[in-house]
A and B are shown apart, each in its own frame.
Chain A
């Protein structure tokens, strides 16, 4: 047991230390969502009125939270590619630690880092008129962690498939950005044409963001979500389990010749 847990702890500790040491990354990760919220949210708030049941700036907060988690978790997991490129992964691979523990270490650190960042963004909530009860804060933390775990696992899976950092732009443009735009972050799912809706239903982030909407707008009877909370929970957990398994298998395969 110690053999499996200790490496997860060590790898997580390393990533957290590095994360809090890299000020620029920390600042960037907080600045990006705030920019979206303030500039896009405030701007469109004036144009979009009516059918949402909440103001537009309120509407996109769950989406911005999802975006923060998405970028943070993918970035954290993709550090596997950096480690490989700079040789550090080799140092870990020759230790007696199992490949699976290394993959889990990366997923856990991605989860924690994304959760911290997501919670930082939540500080903005009271300023745009969203207030939480203690129970809501608690459930939000749980859901943020589940979504973070799922995206981190997807990140580890992707990092195990790509060979070098040159593929990073492709990942950003063809996986990360579409995942964000097709998640119901910016507009309700129901307003989109059927074909695009199918893509959204295949996107785990859709259920994550929808669950955030349920929690954040719990007190607002005027707001109606696209998916039921039960479906969100079931699908989010299923996606997470599948992603973790895929990530562990892919990582193990890539590093066992």
Chain B
């Protein structure tokens, strides 16, 4: 059994389908990224896996238990860092952590030892007695991550952990998450829309309109799913005509592009051709960002169902 196993998971609100029959698994100890535009179904999926939302149909196993059948067992074995801050500003750093430890049934002595250990690792030991409202955004995020790890969960869920942080803080938070993962061997499930963050994950899934459209190692995905683009710029009509005859397509003005497997071979072929008046030529190695955009398109999404838990009142 894997750390997470999802089979034909489906969630709809009235007429709206948020998660449209997805299946995937995450192995123990894996750093797994869940990528997609706003409203693609990321938060809905994470809320189902964390037992905050009930799926309409399908099964999801987290740390060996099924989300609808044994939510209490799952809650004990997972940690969660939400998109928005969920710290109590009026309590101190230490109190926030102790409160959390108690809710997970840790004994006071064990809890205090673990809190001090984790605070030292993230460099917040000297902020122990500080009210949380006096901490910076980056400190709060680090505090939330160690809170999520405090009770030693098998799986840690991070819902867009770096949204709203400046680049330095983002890098810092990531360095620390990866450190913690090494130390604790925790399986980590992250949603993000920053592609650059996901490029060194073990595996990623790209979700859009509630469906998984690509899944696998990020580097393999790039190699499999996109090709190198070669771009030529020329002002010469004959050259342009010839470029078109080589299967290139006109992008705009004097720009011509072709997507190829092997840039080296293509260059050799081009150099053998005489009489071309090439002004400029560039090779663009694709990045995850390009793959993501090519898969999900460039339209801007509205946040249709980002906070279903909060907006819905009653009913089950």
Contact = CB atoms under 8 A, between A and B. Distances in A.
A10 B96 CA distance: 11
B313 A88 contact: no
Contacts of B103: 6-7, 10, 92, 95-97
A97 B76 CA distance: 9
17 contacts: A7-B102, A10-B99, A14-B95, A17-B91, A18-B91, A84-B310, A88-B88, A90-B52, A91-B82, A91-B100, A93-B52, A94-B50, A95-B103, A96-B105, A254-B314, A256-B316, A257-B316
Contact of A87 (B50, B86, B99): B86
Contacts of B76: 96
Contacts of A7: 102-103
Interface in B66-117: 72, 75-76, 78, 80, 82, 84-91, 95, 99-100, 102-105
A109 to B, nearest CB: 13
A123 B241 CA distance: 97
A253 interface: yes
A240 to B, nearest CB: 24
A10 B313 contact: no
Interface residues of B, number: 35
B270 to A, nearest CB: 56
Interface residues on A, range: 20 to 34
Contacts of B314: 253-254
A163 interface: yes
B105 to A, nearest CB: 7
B86 A14 contact: no
Interface in A209-257: 253-254, 256-257
Interface in A31-84: 84
Which 8 A-B pairs rank lowest in CB-CB distance, beginning with the nearest?
A: A87-B86, A91-B86, A95-B103, A96-B75, A96-B76, A10-B102, A87-B84, A18-B90
Contacts of A21: 90
B75 A14 contact: no
B51 interface: yes
Given A22-B90, A94-B51, A96-B76, 6 more contacts: A7-B102, A9-B102, A14-B88, A14-B99, A18-B90, A96-B72
Contact of B75 (A13, A84, A94): A94
A7 B72 CA distance: 15
B167 interface: no
Contacts of B316: 253, 256-257
A257 to B, nearest CB: 6
A90 B54 CA distance: 15
A87 B315 contact: no
Contacts of B100: 91, 95
A17 B80 CA distance: 25
Most chain A Cβ neighbours within 10 Å, of B85, B103, B105, B315:
B103
Contact of B105 (A6, A13, A94): A6
Interface of B: 50-54, 72, 75-76, 78, 80, 82, 84-91, 95, 99-100, 102-105, 147, 309-316
Grouping DSSP codes into helix (H, G, I), strand (E, B) and loop, the B interface class, with mixed when no group exceeds half, is: loop
A58 to B, nearest CB: 38
B105 A3 contact: yes
B95 A94 contact: no
Contacts of B87: 88, 91
A197 B80 CA distance: 52
Nearest to A2: B105
Contacts of B52: 90, 93-94, 257
B102 A88 contact: no
Nearest to A83: B88
Contacts of A98: 72
A18 B133 CA distance: 13
Contacts of A256: 316
Most chain B Cβ neighbours within 10 Å, of A6, A18, A86, A96:
A96
A173 to B, nearest CB: 21
Interface in A90-130: 90-98
Most chain A Cβ neighbours within 10 Å, of B52, B54, B312:
B52
A257 B99 CA distance: 25
A84 B91 CA distance: 16
B16 to A, nearest CB: 15
A253 B316 CA distance: 8
A97 B80 CA distance: 15
A92 B104 CA distance: 10
A169 to B, nearest CB: 19
A14 B91 contact: yes
A96 B99 contact: no
A87 B85 contact: yes
A96 B76 CA distance: 5
Given A88-B86, A90-B86, A254 B313 contact: yes
Contacts of A3: 105
A76 to B, nearest CB: 14
Nearest to B103: A95
B305 to A, nearest CB: 13
B106 to A, nearest CB: 10
